[in-house]
Structure 1
Amino acid sequence: MVAAIQMNSQDSLTDNLAQLDKLLAEAALRGVKLAVLPENFAVFGAPGQAHTASQLPAILTWLADACRRYRLWIVAGSLPSSHRPDGEVIPDGRVRSACFILDEEGVVQGRYDKIHLFDAEVGDRQATYRESAVFEPGSSVVTVPTPWGRVGLTICYDLRFPELFMALRKAGTDLLVLPAAFTAITGEAHWETLLRARAIETQCFVIAAGQTGKHGALRETWGHSMVINPWGKVLDERPEPTPGVVAVACDLGEMRKLRHSMPLMSHRRLSY
């Protein structure tokens, strides 16, 4: 059983972790073994990312304790890190948007740094988004073996770049995870369409965990966290603009049967 955890994170780390703890407890009671958190779950506001990065060790310690208490693997959405994966300090004051995956003993099993940064004009109250002013992009494709299949890690804006998802499929991915904070406008227009497309073309399960609702005066996110099967069917969704848990059993046998009957990877003739 896997879960997409939908949150409404604000700028208080303490409040956000309290909200998350209740959702993880609910997930565990429902038999979930792998929980995916949304982007910016710990602190939402971009201006505070450098300060949040200084709290990264404490947040990872909290997550490790939650893994042990609830016997969960946790895909920890995104957290700002002032260090690259090799330990080098990022020199220009920016941080990286990093997704850590921890096992049920709280041990970090992998880290993915968001490759595609959201620099765009959106017709909402915030209007302009410039993630590159705060974040340094990552460059590595990351998959992590788990007891339920190989997990491919992505974050939010990555969803618009199918070449990343195809690289993850080529690396043996079974479960694609997408922590996100899609804007309400872009989410309404493209969220489900893109998620279903990524599932269909890779023949993977997609677990998409979103932020939802209002975050201060300017930001509003789409939510609609969902789990999609390799045929592109939405197995479950949370359409309400409130925090909650979307829990689904993923049948990898179904996935393997589909891949055998329609072997897309062996039919491919073009590469990016």
Structure 2
Amino acid sequence: MSSRQSPKQNLQRVEQQLKAIPEGRPQLVVLPEAFSCFGAGDRAQLAMAEPYGDGPVQQRLSELARQYNVYLIGGTLPIYAGERFAAASICFGPDGTQLARYDKIHLFDVDVADNTKEYRESKWTRPGEQVVTVDCGFAVVGMAVCYDVRFPEMFKALRQAGADIIVLPTAFTQVTGEAHWHTLVKARAIEQQVYMVAPAQFGEHENGRKTYGHSLIVDPWGQIQAEKATGEGAISAEFDLAKVQQIRQQMPVAKQTRFKVSLTQ
């Protein structure tokens, strides 16, 4: 997606894509980071933050999951968290129920050589504190967001928690995406022997920020199964649990590792 400032318009565009997805079920659909509003600024995100479990964006996602009979992960949306908001990724089941919530742990406080220059997510965003997986029946799905991809220990923790697929809604900058995006996503897939599902924002947004695009689905051997470099639309790939199991059996790195990880604050 190339999300704009209007949640209503962005949700309409989500539904347009849902109408075109493959017919097979069960199916996991993942939206990009900040899919519901992008380019309005952090202050505006705080103003439109919803209480968890209530609000028009969450209600509409629930309706869409039920209508299209899919597991639907709403990239991230701002959830009220006091003076700041949580960048929450919420998973809805095919019956519309909220199955899991992950709040982005690693916040993008960096300097980038682009027209935005300074990114300070922590000023407005409250970091998450928990690694989250959700059992979708056909697979255990680990939840991560964008900048998390630079912290491999988190992905190891998700694998330890049973993840077969890890989703990574993202809005990588044009500069950092060109330099590192494909390498990072493929590395996490190879290291943890999981499918990586990484939907992305693309293009120039209303605040002038440029995002890289290149939505990816990568298999546990590091092979790109589907990619969309630019333009709005959906990509898909078949999840093959037997492939995951075979790779893990032939190269049992999870059993051979000498290190375990845990989340610390």
TM over 0.5: yes
Q: Aligned Cα RMSD in Å?
A: 1.4
C-alpha contact 2:88 2:101 (8 A) present in aligned 1? yes
The 1:250–1:204 alpha-carbon spacing in structure 2 relative to 1, beyond 3 Å, is same
Matched, 1:57 2:55: yes
Aligned partner letter, 2:44 = G
Separation in structure 1 between the aligned mates of residue 15 and residue 99 of structure 2, nearest angstrom? 21
Give identity over the alignment, percent: 39
Cα distance between partner residues in 2 of 1:60 and 1:271: 35
Q: 2:27 aligns with which of 29, 33, 36?
A: 33
Contact 1:101 1:109 in 2 (8 A): yes
Q: Give per-residue Cα distances to partners, 1:226-261, cap 9 Å, x unaligned.
A: 10000000011001x211101110111011011001
Q: Residues 263 and 20 (structure 1 numbering): CA distance in 2 closer, same or farther, change over 3 Å?
A: same
- Larger strand percent: 1
Counterpart in the other structure of 1:264: 253
Residue matched to 1:4: none
* Structure 2 unaligned regions, length at least 5: none
The answer for the alignment partner of 2:101 in structure 1 is 111
Q: Which stretches in structure 1 are left out of the alignment for 5+ residues?
A: 1-6, 84-89
- Which sits farther off after the overlay, 105-114 or 208-217? 208-217
- Inter-partner Cα distance in structure 2 for 1:104 and 1:82: 25
Provide the C-alpha distance between the structure 2 equivalents of 1:252 and 1:39, rounded to a whole number of angstroms: 26
Higher relative contact order (CA 8 A, sep 6+): 1
> Stretches of 4+ moved more than 3 A in 1?
28-32
Q: Is the 8 A contact 1:28 1:72 kept in 2?
A: no
TM-score by length of 2: 0.93
What are the equivalent positions in structure 2 for 1:128-207 lying under 5 Å apart? 128-207=118-197
> How far apart are the structure 1 equivalents of 2:176 and 2:20?
29
Counterpart AA for 1:34: L
- Equivalenced residues, count: 257
For the residue of structure 1 that corresponds to 2:216, the secondary structure is strand
Structure-2 separation of matches of 1:54 and 1:33: 27
